[in-house]
Structure formats: structure tokens, C-alpha cells
Amino acid sequence: MSKSYFDTDNNGHKPFELPGARPHYNPDRPGQVEHIFLDLSLDIPKLCYQGSCSIRLLPIRNGIDRLTLDAVNLNIESVQVDEVPQNFNYDGEQLSIQLSQSTQIGKRLVIAIAYSVAKPQRGIYFIQPDKHYPNKPTQVWTQGEDEDSRFWFPCFDYPGQLSTSEIRVRVPNPLVAISNGELINTTEDGDYKIYHWLQQQVHPTYLMTLAVGDFAEIRDEWNEKPVTYYVEKGREEDAKRSMGKTPRMIEFLSQKYGYPYPFPKYAQVCVDDFIFGGMENTSTTLLTDRCLLDERAALDNRNTESLVVHELAHQWFGDLVVIKHWSHAWIKEGMASYSEVMWTEQEYSLQEAAYYRLLEARRYLSEDSSRYRRPMVTHIYREAIELYDRHIYEKGSCVYHMIRAQLGDELFWQAIQTFVQDNAHKTVETVDLLRAIEKATGRNLLFLFDQYVYRGGHPDFKVAYSWDGDANLAKITVTQTQAAEGKDGNKDLFDLKIPIGFGYTQQEEVRSNGKLSTQDLGLKTFTVRVNEREQSFYFPLENKPQFISFDVGNNYLKTVTLEYPIAELKAQLEFDSDPISRIYAAAALAKKGGLEATIALSASLKNDPLWGVRVEAAKQLAKINLDQAFDGLVAGLKDKNAYVRRAVVEALAQIKTAESYKVVRGLVQKGDPSYYVEAAASRVIGAIASANLEEKPKEDKVLKLLKGVLEEKAGWNEVVRSGAIAGLAEFKTSEAALNLLLEYTKLGVPQPLRLATIRALGKISVGQSPVNLERILEKLTELAKESFFLTQVSVAAALGQMETPKAVGILRSLAEQTADGRVRRSAEEEISKVQKNIGSEKTLLQLREDFDQLKQQNQELRSRLENLEAKSK
């Protein structure tokens, strides 16, 4: 690890550690927790429950006379050990039990805690209809990860303790209760029913769960094990559409991981107002009900499929093999994210998987450049939840891919299977993965982990190419631009062996054994060691290559800037079999600009076999300021693939002309088979119409159009109407647009639409009059008081876009008052954004003043010049 928490030098990147961050360690173990038994009775209308928690503990040493459990905001009624009442202290966060008899090695004890909970803030969530949302379902669900189980039951709450568990819960009819493991008993009890679940494989407290609701149950199976989907009644078809591939995924992952699905059942429960996308509780994954797709949404939404395979992969990586400490969470999150890539490869194609991986890499790269840079493994933070970022998910996935590229497919899977088999039902740290790789393959990949896991960052390569025709020599110059010049930069250098390919597109006549034959030369590849800031490599070649493929396979996590002549870039865009290389070529071509690049990109948008490359070609075309680029782009609206049409519409936002306005307006009016394309059109029409066009469309006409969308297009997850909201937010000086937005922040507006509107308030605020700005601030102050996690996140996001110091005050109080570490962190990050916004606004003002001054001086000079000229005549 390159950085300690005392180190402030971070290469110009913002630090990950916020004030108050400190090292976190697992606590000392009094012994092994063997079993946890919760016996609960829910009173849903009163948002409370009561019951008992029994923990069986096998002491690790003699003479322990005090046990400390995590337990937050519970009402502890009594504590018994082996049925003998004990003295205890409870401060609202930790329960300290004074043992009347100190421990003896090997002599188990059962701690029984009677407790109740009223109106819990975290850990367990009660969902009910209210006067604003009368159709909301009645549900109770839990979320333990990372350290929230202690908010719903007392426990030794860290992932280093694995035990079996059991939950018996009494719920009112007709609700059902789903939990980990097997349902071993149900009992009718008047208007209530008691569900009794038993999890016989050990797991950590953060994976214990309970989900209660009036669900429809859809039964599927894999190898005679039940695979069940629970959804709100009426959504059975959506459930099958969204989760129906689960049994095939279980089969796929069982094969890949070399370990059959380890639990007695696999349930997925879709719950309302879930605060994450999904949570991989052991054998019982909870998912947000927003992942349920209708027929139209399934057209261009792969997110749900990815979510389903991600949570399923955790059943092995996370639940069967458990991380010992949060600092190693990348082991499970990286693999779960990589399972999305693997599944894409299995279900669609290798090329689609490569594109998926590029998108993951970009999400990490964007966090690295705009938020902070950190080692993937670090135990220095304020709250563990801060670690759940793009580093451990997306970068983690890219690291698994690099391991695969290093080892090759066969050895990679042997290593992974060894890791899973050796560590099943145990806890692991990063070093255990290295050990498993070495055990299975003999390879020591510490050099890779040192560079990509234990320190932050990645290489930024600049690659230049030239051809010496006299000597038939290709020269490739590679610069690692992330490292500063001179000795200071050395610590940021990467040392990697990188394959460089020379591509030949034409068939060549080859003489062998005296016979003349033709063969496709394809790619001629050499591997070079890149370990300095700037290195030039010379390759003697028989013929001039048509294109150059740097890092063949694009297996390394990196950025690249290609400095090749236009002919080579065009050839690469057309002929390189690696879609990622084609995408890099597209970006380099757009940078060159001009008609030749435009024609090549237009052809790529029209002809590339992979939709992902067509998407990228559209994005790049929009960067070229030529009428021909617009023509090429618009042709892409006819693409059969909805992702491409969406990208084309989004790209049109960059071309703010009357022509692009007309095209997008046509789309808003006549619609598209895809929700997302329609949403993009509504968003983009706002962006174009609010710009300074020569023939500017009347504002009220556009607002009317968007208002029409809001009135008529209620549909799946409010995607389309949220697009119209974003379109309205582009009218930053319009009071009418603001008034319309404020309407949609009211309670009673469907949740997703309301959240989108709250976010949009930030964007529209920057051009509003002082009076209207006040109205926005007042509204956000009011909204910040709502306790729902997603509302708070949206409020913080809105405030972060504002350019007034008053936003800082609201963010501060949000950070202070929130119960959630992630909201706190995001509020604090938004504060620095606002401060930056204010700064840049000041700079802009200064620039404007300077400019006006210059203009005036210029005019004076000109006048003088004219005078001189007049005199000289």
C-alpha cells in the first residue's frame, strides 16, 4: 500500500479518508459463536417487535468474565446465561454482560437476551401504506451489511464470526416470512402464523435476513433444490421475465466455481423501497422491486440480469467463502461484478463481455479521476460502508480479469476452484487468494496485486507509432503519463508485460516449400516489458502493418491515448477483431476530426457488428463539428438496437442546432419502442432547446411538449417521465419550468419520479432569480428532513450542483442529522463540490471582466489605428 492515513500526498487526487477516518480491526474473540436463534413477534402497524436472541458460544479461553455484544437502540429487557439472570450494562450501542461464572475452555454457554425494538432507523425496515401512498404494500425487510444487524438483534457483529442461525417469527395473516435456510415448521396461531427457518451452514451476522410481505411465490428449481421468486401479487409475469434465468445461472456458476450451489434453496425476494439494488443474504437474496421488468423494459435493460447473477455469485463469494474483514470486500464484490462479465460471455458473446468489462473499467476510472484514488484493500475509514465504491466492485472485477489473463482460462479456473474449495465455510483475506493461485498453478501474482490491489491507480498509456519504410521497422513509443517526469514519478510507474500486435488485413502471398499459397496474416504479436516512463520499441517487420493493436486483448486495466496516423486508426476501427481496440481507435479518430474521420465513424456506426462499438461511434461523432457528422449520426436512429438509438439521441444533445432539435422533437412526439430512448429524447430536447440556437424554438412550446410527456407517459419505473423532468431542468432561467418541477416533489408523486425531480432541482437552480433560488433552497431544506435514505441521497445530489453558499449549510445539517454513513459521506463530498462551483463561478466572473476590459482596449487600439491610417493618407 502506497498511502498511510498520515500521508497527504495523493498525486493530486482527493483523499479517500475523510476527517475522522481511523484504522479498523476485528475485535478480540471471546470464543466461537456456534448458533444464533432469534424468536420474534412483529407488530407491524406499530412498527415494532419483541422477542429474544439466544447465542451459543464456545469459549476460547478460561477466565473471561465479561462479554461485549453490539446492539444499537434496542430495549434490552433481561440477559440470562444458561438460564441464570446476569448483570449487564447497556449504553445504547454495546451490551456488556458481567458473567456470574467466568468461562471455561470447551464449556459452551447460551446467552439469552430478551429485547424489543420500536421504530427502528436501520437494520430492519417497516414499509406500510400511508395517506400519500395508499397503495404501498405492507412489508418488513432487513439489511445487515455492513454493520447494521446490530440494529435489529444483539450480536458479535463482524464478519469474522461464522455460525449457524435460526429465526422463528410470528406475523399476521396473510403475510409470509422468508429467511435463510430451510423452512422447518409453520404454525397457525389465530390471526397469526409462525414461520420457523433454520440455516444449517455457518455464515456471518450481516447475512442473516428476514423478509415479510403478502408475496406471490413462483417456484422454479435447480438439481431438485427449490429456486423461488417472491414478488408483489400481480407481478408474476415480470418475476419470470426478470429472474427466470436463475437456474441456468446456478448451473453455470456451480461449474465455474467448481462447487455445487451450497445451500438448501435459493430465494429471491423483491421488496419495496429497498435501499440497495440487491443484497446477497445467505440463500435468500433481497432485490429492489424496481428491477422487475415489463416487456418493454426488457428490450434494453440488462441491469436486472446482471443484478441477479451478481447476487447469486455472492452465494459462493461472500456467503460460502466469507471475508474476514471489510477491508477485503473486493474479493467478493470484485468477483460478483466479474460474474456479470462471465455471464455476458456465456449468454451473449465474448465481444459483448469485452464491452461490458470496458464499461465497468470506465465507472472505476471516473471515480478515480473525479472522486478519489485509494488502494483496494484499506482498513482506514470512518464507516465500512464507505468502502463499497467503484474501486472494490468495478476495479475488483478488472483485477479478476487480469488474473485470468495472466493465468489463462484453464489455470484461472483451477485457481478459483481451489480458492473456493479450500475456503468453503471459512473466512478469507486477500492473501488467501494469492495462496490459492500459487497452490493451484505455481504462479506468484504478488507483482500484480502490488500494483493494482495494494496501491491506488492504474497506468495511463500514450502510444505513438511510426513506420520506417527503408528499414521496414515499426517504432512504438509508450509513455506512462500517470507518472511525473523524473525520480518523483518512479513510484507511480507500472511494470507490465504488454503484447503489441501488428494487424494485416489483406491476404498475402506466401512461398513455402517452393509452393506459392495465400494466407491471411492476421495479427503479428510481440510482448514487451513496459516499465519506464517513456520507452521506444522497434519491430522489424516484413511488411508495413495496416494497424497496431496495443495490449492485444485489452486485458490490463488502463487508459490509452493513441497517436497513430489516420490511416492506421481507420483500419483499426474497421478491422481489429477486438471491440475495445476499435473503440479506442474511434476516440482517437474523433480527436483528429475532419471529414475522413467523420466518414469512418459514420461507417462504423452503420456497420460495426457489435452494438457497443456502434454506441461508441455515435458518441465520438457528436464531438466533430461538421454537418456531415450530424448526417452520420441521424442515420443511427434507424438502428434496430435500442442501446444504439439511445446513444444517438444522447449524442444529439451535443449538436445544438435547429436540425437536431427537429429530429429529437419528432422522436418525442412519435415515441420509440424503448422507454430509455423516449426518456433520452425528452431529456435531450430540453438540452438543445435551452441552448442559444439561431432559430430558437419558443420556450413555452417545448415546456408544453414536456408537460405532455409528464401527463401521458406514466410507465415502468417512471423512466420516461424522469427523462422529461431532466429535460425541464435544462431551462435554468425559466420560472415556468421550475414551477412544474416543484409540483413533482410533492408527496404522493411516485417515488422514482419524485427522486428524479428532487435531483433536477439542483440543475435548474443555477440560472434562477434570487427569489426562485430561495424557493428551491426552502424546498430542499424541507426535503432533507425526510428520513428515507434515497430521498436524502437525492437531496444531497441536488445541493451539490448548486452555486450558492447557502447549499453548504443545508448539506452540513444533513450530514449531522442523517442516520446513514453513506448519506453523511455524500453530503460532505457535495459540500466540496459546491465550494468548487462557487469558486469557478467567481473565476468566470473574473474572466468576463477581463474579457470586457480587453474588448474595450481592443476597440481603443482599433480606433487609434484608424486614426493613424487616416492621418497617413
Amino acid at residue number 640 = K
Q: What is the DSSP-derived secondary structure letter of residue 488?
A: G
Q: How far is the CB of 314 from Zn ion (least distance, A)?
A: 6
Q: Which is nearer to Zn ion, 218 or 253 (CB)?
A: 253
Binding part of the chain for Zn ion, among 334-342, 583-591, 707-715, 716-724 by CB under 5 A, reads 334-342
Binding to Zn ion in span 304-333, by CB under 5 A: 333
Do the Cβ atoms of 63 and 235 come closer than 8 Å? no
Binding to Zn ion in span 272-311, by CB under 5 A: none
Do the Cβ atoms of 569 and 598 come closer than 8 Å? no
What separation in angstroms does the CA of 147 have from each of 113, 204, 208, 392, 871?
19, 11, 12, 18, 84
The grid cell for 208 is: 442473516
Question: Taking CA 763 as the corner, what is the angle to CA 761 and CA 764, rounded to the nearest 5 degrees?
Answer: 65
Q: How far is the CB of 145 from Zn ion (least distance, A)?
A: 9
The grid cell for 150 is: 446490530
Q: Does 336 bind Zn ion (CB under 5 A)?
A: yes
- In SS3 terms, 531-575 reads as CCCEEEEEEECCCCCCEEEECCCCCCCCEEEEECCHHHHHHHHHH
What whole-number distance in Å separates Cα of residue 742 and Cα of residue 795?
A: 13
Q: Which is nearer to Zn ion, 336 or 361 (CB)?
A: 336
What whole-number distance in Å separates Cα of residue 69 and Cα of residue 72?
A: 10
Q: How far is the CB of 333 from Zn ion (least distance, A)?
A: 5
Q: Which is nearer to Zn ion, 333 or 492 (CB)?
A: 333
Q: How far is the CB of 417 from Zn ion (least distance, A)?
A: 21
Find the helix packing angle between 789-800 and 751-765, rounded to 10°. 20
Q: How far is the CB of 228 from Zn ion (least distance, A)?
A: 21
Q: How far is the CB of 639 from Zn ion (least distance, A)?
A: 33
Q: Which is nearer to Zn ion, 333 or 730 (CB)?
A: 333
What whole-number distance in Å separates Cα of residue 445 and Cα of residue 461?
A: 22
Q: How far is the CB of 318 from Zn ion (least distance, A)?
A: 7
Q: Which is nearer to Zn ion, 336 or 740 (CB)?
A: 336
What whole-number distance in Å separates Cα of residue 188 and Cα of residue 175?
A: 12
Binding to Zn ion in span 169-228, by CB under 5 A: none
Q: Which is nearer to Zn ion, 141 or 494 (CB)?
A: 141
Q: Which residues contact 255 (CB under 8 A, 6 or more apart)?
A: none
Q: Which is nearer to Zn ion, 357 or 646 (CB)?
A: 357
What whole-number distance in Å separates Cα of residue 252 and Cα of residue 261?
A: 10
Number of other CB atoms surrounding residue 371 within 10 Å: 15
Binding part of the chain for Zn ion, among 253-261, 336-344, 745-753, 773-781 by CB under 5 A, reads 336-344
Please provide residue 19's backbone torsions phi and psi, each rounded to the nearest 5 degrees: -50, 135
Q: How far is the CB of 359 from Zn ion (least distance, A)?
A: 17
Q: How far is the CB of 336 from Zn ion (least distance, A)?
A: 4
Alpha helices, DSSP H, located in 690-820: 699-712, 719-729, 735-743, 751-765, 770-784, 789-800, 805-817
Q: How far is the CB of 774 from Zn ion (least distance, A)?
A: 42
Q: Which is nearer to Zn ion, 300 or 333 (CB)?
A: 333
What whole-number distance in Å separates Cα of residue 480 and Cα of residue 460?
A: 6
By the 10 Å C-beta count (0-12 exposed, 13-18 middle, 19+ buried), 564 is classed as buried
Q: Which is nearer to Zn ion, 336 or 387 (CB)?
A: 336
Cis peptide before 146 (omega within 30 of 0): yes
Number of other CB atoms surrounding residue 455 within 10 Å: 18
Q: Closest residue (Cβ) to Zn ion?
A: 336
Do the Cβ atoms of 496 and 459 come closer than 8 Å? yes
Number of other CB atoms surrounding residue 134 within 10 Å: 8
| CA-based nearest residue to 41, from 33, 31, 32, 51 | 51
Q: Which is nearer to Zn ion, 334 or 612 (CB)?
A: 334
Q: How far is the CB of 323 from Zn ion (least distance, A)?
A: 11
Cis peptide before 174 (omega within 30 of 0): yes
What whole-number distance in Å separates Cα of residue 471 and Cα of residue 785?
A: 72
Q: Which is nearer to Zn ion, 333 or 568 (CB)?
A: 333
Half-sphere exposure of 431 (CA within 13 A, CB side): 2
Q: How far is the CB of 595 from Zn ion (least distance, A)?
A: 47
Q: How far is the CB of 429 from Zn ion (least distance, A)?
A: 18
Site size toward Zn ion (CB under 5 A) is 2
Q: Which is nearer to Zn ion, 396 or 636 (CB)?
A: 396
Binding to Zn ion in span 43-72, by CB under 5 A: none
The grid cell for 317 is: 463469494
Q: How far is the CB of 329 from Zn ion (least distance, A)?
A: 9
Q: Which is nearer to Zn ion, 215 or 393 (CB)?
A: 393
Q: Which is nearer to Zn ion, 335 or 667 (CB)?
A: 335
Chain residues binding Zn ion by CB under 5 A are 333, 336
